[in-house]
Structure 1
């Protein structure tokens, strides 16, 4: 019993302090921004301009991996029950109030909560237990395909501009 309480406290504190958590439902693991409120992690997504939440279904299970804020390494992994909150319910309102404060660069800050109610899903990830099995190998994986990329061909003139020597004026 005490061990379970300590595991829950570790998962809660680590998740509260981390800006991102890795969440894996039935699909690949994804880095998601979140807030911890009312004893669970809350995420919003699956709408235009919001983070994708593939493989996370209401009543399903997910594994949450929390990274260390200072070193970025895996700190704790915990199992979660996924609960989709109904728009404008009491739990949804409390979660959205916290999520709205953490949402960066929202194009429509004034109508954000109404857009989330219409077009997005707000999920509650409830702690179900800690994964005590540490991985035996690397968890590195190839990046997921995405239409968003900054990788392009280097312009031909760029090396000349970068390595051009300045003339000294003395």
Structure 2
């Protein structure tokens, strides 16, 4: 019983203090995992009422691939100061219905953490129409932290650099200035 309470406290405190959590849907076993839905994703969140609340899947918001209502997820929490993994925990995914009391409470917390929203105060209306709000409720099981780095190649993206740097650029940047 004491170990369960300590695990619950660790999950709550670590998740509250971390700005990002790494989330992976447990619908696909790790060894068979392929594609964006199978890999862990860094997601911003808020801890509210005993669960991690996420917002996404709308225009300009974070993607939530593989996370479905009633499904499961594995959450890995990192240390805010050192960046190392602190705890991994299993979660049940619950999608909140827009305008329900639970949705309103979660959105009030998320609104305070959302940075650089393009529509300011109107964002909650947009979230109700175009986005999903999910609760990741801890199931009480914490997993062993992996020994390896779990590094993976970056996911495909349309973002690219404009052009290669001009050949003369290093000379312009690093030439010595003459003193008058």
Runs of 5+ consecutive residues of structure 1 not aligned to the other structure: none
| 1:24 correspondence with 2:24 | yes
Return the offset for 1:138: 2.2
- Tell me the CA shift for residue 151 of structure 1: 7.8
Deviating more after overlay: 1-10 vs 92-101? 1-10
RMSD: 1.4
Partner Cα distance (1:97, 1:156) in 2? 51
Per-residue deviation, 1:131 = 2.8
Q: How far, CA to CA, are the matches of 2:131 and 2:113 in structure 1?
A: 16
CA distance in 2, matches of 1:54, 1:4: 30
3-state SS of paired residue (1:168): coil
Rate the CA distance shift 1:133–1:10 in 2: closer, same or farther, 3 A: same
For 1:119, the equivalent position in structure 2 comes to 130
Q: Residue deviations 1:53-97, cap 9 Å, x none? A: 000000000000000011101010000000000000011000000
The residue correspondences of 1:20-169 to structure 2 (distance < 5 A) are: 20-25=20-25, 26=27, 27-150=38-161, 153-169=164-180
* Unmatched segments (≥5 aa) in structure 2: 28-37
Q: TM-score, normalised by structure 1?
A: 0.94
In the alignment of these two chains, the number of paired residues is 169
CA deviations on 1:100-147 (whole Å, 9 max, x unpaired) are: 110000000121000000000000000112333231322111111122
Contact 2:90/2:143 (<8 A) preserved:
no
Please give the residue correspondences for 1:7-18 in structure 2 after superposition, counting only pairs within 5 Å: 7-18=7-18
